[in-house]
Amino acid sequence: MATINAANAGTFAFDENFKVNRLGYGAMQLTGPGTWGPYADPANGVKVIQKALDYGVNFFDTADSYGPWFADRYLAAGLKDAANRNQIFISDKVGQTRQGPNIWTPHGEPHYLRQQVEVSMMTLGIDHEDLVFLHRIDDHFSIEDQVGELKQLQTEGKIKHIGLSQVSVEQIKAAQKVANIDAIENLYNVANHQDDDVLDYAADQGMAFLPWFPLATGKLAEAGGALSAMAQKYQVSPAQIALAWLLKRSPNVLPIPGTSSVDHLADNVAAANVQLSTADFNELSQLSAK
């Protein structure tokens, strides 16, 4: 039986000094209902992070708006005693405000973005951010002002890499006139890959592409659905098929499935062992709601 190790999915190089295992972990589920408030079992949240480390995950995705702040606290606690802490890469996101469960309001005022980066570093217990995404582009402020502030923080050594979340190719090109953009995080999964053009542009530019909601596959994963049928063929779970499809889609794709369950974590990471045939990949690619 193959070992459960994120490294089996291969690596992606953000720069010459840092390669991450492509199958990462997203901390969004370590919060209360509606991504609001504390997680019901903080000790278990820390345990999940620690177990992810055991499984070879060295790429963690979070955001100050998850809770807000609570997911960052559990992530910091889970990583605190890691033997290889200097080999762990964290992607963070700023530029959203929260007013309650399931309420997200973009706010890209440059001073606010700077505040969020500074507070995130304190919360996570780090002296710089490996990667910071502009969580959403706020139409009330120019891209030059929003990305420009992240660029200034990068110049100051507080950010290593800059990313954008939920953007079009045109928006990426506009941001590239202001700073180097190293990563994109958009909604993308086997059931909904309408942003194929964004992924392909990111790949062409050498950018990482993080698909959020990588397991939001709906009816495809239900009994009798296409993912379920493919899972039976490979003797794995539907979630593993969905993640294997993402991993095969392009070498710059870094899935970040989130979970608050150690068992589900093991199942997700085991997707690194699933090698879809080209024919099966193409068959699944036709299932998009596009």
Q: Which two tokens stand for residue 123?
A: 């919360």
Q: Which domain holds residue 84?
A: 6-285
User: φ and ψ at 56, to 5 degrees?
Assistant: 85, 5
- Cα–Cα distances in angstroms (integers) from residue 250 to residues 20, 90, 99, 150, in the given order: 15, 21, 37, 27
Res. 289: pLDDT tops 70: no
pLDDT in tens, 173-224: 999 999 999 999 999 999 889 999 999 999 999 999 999 988 876 677 777 7
Distance CA(27)–CA(263), nearest Å, equals 16
Average pLDDT over residues 114-132: 97
Q: Which of 135, 217, 242, 225 is nearest to 184 (CA)?
A: 135
Q: Where does 55-136 have alpha helices with state H?
A: 70-79, 110-124
| 109 part of a folded domain | yes
Domain tally, the chain: 1
Residue whose tokens read 């007013």: 99
| 205 part of a folded domain | yes
Q: Which of 23, 24, 26, 27 is nearest to 8 (CA)?
A: 23
| 1 part of a folded domain | no
| 290 part of a folded domain | no
The pLDDT assigned to 290 comes to 46
Q: What is the mean pLDDT of the chain?
A: 95
Res. 232: pLDDT tops 70: yes
> How many beta carbons lie within 10 A of that of residue 2, not counting itself?
9
Residues tagged active-site: 66
The pLDDT assigned to 121 comes to 97
Res. 269: pLDDT tops 60: yes
Q: Which of 49, 59, 84 is nearest to 6 (CA)?
A: 59
Angle at the Cα of 164 from the Cα atoms of 162 and 166, rounded to 5 degrees: 165
Distance CA(253)–CA(12), nearest Å, equals 9
| 117 part of a folded domain | yes
Res. 271: pLDDT tops 60: yes
| 121 part of a folded domain | yes
237 HSE (CA, 13 A, CB side) = 15
Q: Which of 22, 39, 21 is nearest to 30 (CA)?
A: 39
The pLDDT assigned to 287 comes to 81
Distance CA(129)–CA(121), nearest Å, equals 7
Average pLDDT over residues 133-144: 97
pLDDT in tens, 75-117: 999 999 898 888 999 999 999 999 999 999 999 999 999 999 9
Q: Which two tokens stand for residue 175?
A: 């941001």
Q: The domain that contains 30 carries what CATH number?
A: 3.20.20.100
| 207 part of a folded domain | yes
| 140 part of a folded domain | yes
Distance CA(290)–CA(279), nearest Å, equals 20
Strands 18-21 and 11-15: antiparallel
Distance CA(103)–CA(152), nearest Å, equals 29
pLDDT in tens, 61-74: 999 999 999 999 99
**3-state class percentages of the chain: helix first, strand second, coil last, to nearest 5:** 40, 20, 40
Residue 236 three-state SS: coil
Q: Which of 82, 98, 229, 95 is nearest to 162 (CA)?
A: 95
pTM reported for the whole predicted model:
0.95
